[in-house]
A and B are shown apart, each in its own frame.
Chain A
Amino acid sequence: MTTTPHLLLRHREIANLDQLEVYLQHGGFEAFKKVVTQMQPAQVIDEVKASGLRGRGGAGFPTGIKWSFLPNNLWPHYVVCNADESEPGTFKDREILEGNPFQLLEGVMIASYAVQANLAYIYLRGEFWQIAHRLDEKIAELEKAGFLGENLFGTPYSLQLRTHLGAGAYICGEETALLESLEGKLGQPRLRPPFPAVVGLYGKPTVINNVETLTNLPLILEKGAAWYKSMGTERSPGVKIFSLSGCVNRPGNYELPLGTTFRELIYTHGGGVPEGRQVRGIMPAGASSAIISITEDRLLDTPMDYESVAAIGSQLGSASVIVLDDSVDFAWLVSKTVNFFKHESCGKCTPCREGTFWMNRLAQRIINGRATPEDISLLETVANQIAGKCLCALGEFSVMAVTTGIRQFRSDFEHHVNGSGSTATGG
């Protein structure tokens, strides 16, 4: 089953949806107008809670509940849109930002009204330089058209949107590091508690939501929570954009109901793996995934929802599905992911800063054919010393492929140790 027409990637059916007049012709900003003129903020929060929408950035936390944590005796409130998409394997937010930007902006505006924020920031990774400049133009258009500014639709509510460009740091996707960065500091995570809902941007209560999460909001408010819940599974309602990459014939973004199986994504939509190849492993949440070893064909029938993927020992995360066929050397793969996390570690906490450094050296030594058999166990030991000891999730993410890779694909590592010392390559 596919969602046709698309709900989030609507630009695939509607030409020029990134133009304000076209977006307005297709019901644009009706939902925002409705919430501002007809609904109390608490009603908006209740509707989003009832929809069961869960954060699409990776954590899967219920959005409405996240909003309800903001205290009503501390002001001002802020909304921050996390558009720092940087996980290897993830490229869904970028398509929304390019193709359907007004639906995202309307989502930011609805979230802002729900928590009564008068100022919202969209934090984009620095590489999205062109996108940020186009968004600035669109925000200016919205100000001109009266959708942003003072006393919207004749009500006392006022709202301003601003973009902010990062400058190349994966860690800024972590919400407290993002806030630090937005405040003009190094992008390093904060100790929690307090959580951003209470002490966030500039020390004030702040909602931080992912691009895809926010893009769902106009439709939920327009069509209602019951409609939204009719899609997906009971505990993971709605649609999700799956970024499909790696060893597949048709990589790309696929918007599908949560609970769609890996098999349907890879074979029906993604055109399968290259001829003669078989799926050997799947990373469902990008480089930070616990690798799923496809030891049995039936694992491909696992539904991609938060619970089912967790039940087979991995996590859905941001649904960045990297397909790995039987041509891939998993020791090489681990050297790639570890190198990424070593580069992106912010350096604030010791287990992550030192641990990723040593994991990277060990992984490089292994694939360069200079390792001893003990080095494989040492790599595992270092990973186990990082796990559970870090300030934020980056450290945890860095060991996922290492531990699940060695456990399930040990022969790939041993091959380098016992072999001729050949240098590995992938792809």
Chain B
Amino acid sequence: MNQLLQKYPEEVQQILAKYPPEFKRSAVMPLLYLAQREANYVPRQALQDIAEILEISTTDVASIVGFYTLYYDEPGGRYRIQVCTDLPCALRGADRFLQELCERLGIEEGGTTPDGLFTVEAVKCLAACHRAPVFQVQGDGEIVYHENQSVELAMAWIEEVRARVAAKEDRS
């Protein structure tokens, strides 16, 4: 039973259609994004599902997860807040921003808030050097940029998300 194929039949076909049929291995990266959409990490079962769809080994699929930084093989926060701390951003206070944000959330860098909602981590260049401090948020199957940030702006967004999640849980 291929759970990924069963869950996203149309998406899988759309992804496969992007590449010549004899080179369908090319679809491994988009399929991993698809597998990661729901839980913000790639569940073990998905490695097998993808391997089966592409007719490659599970090890091959797992090696892609290990090599590329935007895939995760274990759960983290529902939203990953990823702050660029490379040179141009650091010259505009990115290290300090990251440290203060972690302090405000009461976590270590790389840690996750007790409510399981946010993981905060340093990442490499995001191509937004002129709008530092900058972070991207990986979650809900998307990656969204937040530029020209301050700790206050970031905290305001975090509280907004917390309120939104709480409201959703109340309804369900």
Contact = CB atoms under 8 A, between A and B. Distances in A.
Contacts of A344: 124
Interface in B79-103: 86-93, 95-96
B36 to A, nearest CB: 10
Interface string A110-145: 000000000100000111111000000000000000
Interface of A: 85-91, 93-94, 119, 125-130, 162, 164-170, 181-187, 202, 243-247, 251-253, 287, 320, 322, 324, 328, 333, 336-337, 340, 343-344, 346, 425-427
B15 to A, nearest CB: 10
B155 interface: no
A183 B26 contact: yes
Given A243-B129, A426-B90, A165 B124 contact: no
B19 to A, nearest CB: 8
A186 B67 contact: yes
A328 B129 contact: no
Contact of B130 (A170, A251, A337, A340): A251
A349 B26 CA distance: 24
Interface in B39-74: 54, 56, 63-64, 67-71
A130 B142 contact: yes
Nearest to B61: A184
Given A184-B26, A251-B130, A88 B88 contact: yes
A181 B64 CA distance: 9
Interface stretch (B1-9, B27-35, B111-119, B164-172): B27-35
B153 interface: no
A89 B128 CA distance: 8
B132 to A, nearest CB: 8
Given A90-B127, A182-B26, A336 B136 contact: no
A88 B87 contact: yes
A405 to B, nearest CB: 12
Nearest to B31: A184
B127 A340 contact: no
Given A162-B18, A181-B29, A186-B63, A170 B124 contact: yes
Given A165-B30, A336-B90, A170 B125 contact: yes
A93 B144 CA distance: 17
A251 B129 contact: yes
A246 B86 contact: no
A250 B92 CA distance: 12
17 contacts: A86-B125, A87-B125, A91-B128, A125-B127, A129-B142, A130-B142, A162-B18, A167-B71, A168-B68, A187-B67, A202-B20, A245-B88, A253-B130, A322-B91, A340-B125, A344-B124, A427-B95
